[in-house]
């Protein structure tokens, strides 16, 4: 069953803590993306990767970090430098030639 999985579904972060959100895909897609969505807002791009071992900053990369060591995986770390991390985080993947992006189910991050 092909698709994109994100875990956990809900994540709680304490002040000053780094947390990592998981994103895995078995669609054999080259490109992967992380978006943040706030209530009533559209999707804002955090980071994206078009190939293994390479990634680019999006519009709101400050306070976040990523890695792309495997084609299937693109984890996102929300660092303590991100002062307002409460949001719905969405991972997506695509075949670059097709441009169409497919989304995982999302992770909701809350601050304790």
Partner 1 sequence: QKEVEQNSGPLSVPEGAIASLNCTYSDRGSQSFFWYRQYSGKSPELIMSIYSNGDKEDGRFTAQLNKASQYVSLLIRDSQPSDSATYLCAVTSGNTPLVFGKGTRLSVIA
| C-beta neighbour count of 16 within 10 angstroms | 7
The verdict on 1 binding partner 1 (CB under 8 A) reads no
Contact pattern for partner 1 over residues 4 through 43, marking x by CB under 8 A: -----------------------------x-x----xxxx
User: Distance (Å, rounded) from C-alpha 29 to C-alpha 32?
Assistant: 8
The verdict on 105 binding partner 1 (CB under 8 A) reads yes
Q: Write out the two tokens for 110.
A: 């809350």
Name the site residues for partner 1 (rule: CB under 8 A).
Answer: 33, 35, 40-45, 48, 58, 90, 96, 99-106
């Amino acid at each position: 069953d092909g698709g994109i999985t994100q875990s956990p579904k809900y994540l709680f972060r304490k002040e000053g803590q780094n947390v990592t959100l998981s994103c895995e895909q078995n669609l054999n897609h080259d490109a992967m993306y992380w978006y943040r969505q706030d209530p009533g807002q559209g999707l804002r791009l955090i980071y994206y990767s078009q190939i293994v071992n390479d990634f680019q900053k999006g519009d709101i990369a400050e306070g976040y970090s990523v890695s792309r060591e495997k084609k299937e995986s693109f984890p996102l770390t929300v660092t303590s430098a991100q002062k307002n991390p409460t949001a719905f985080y969405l991972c997506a993947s695509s075949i670059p030639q097709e441009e169409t992006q497919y989304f995982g189910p999302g992770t909701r991050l809350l601050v304790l």
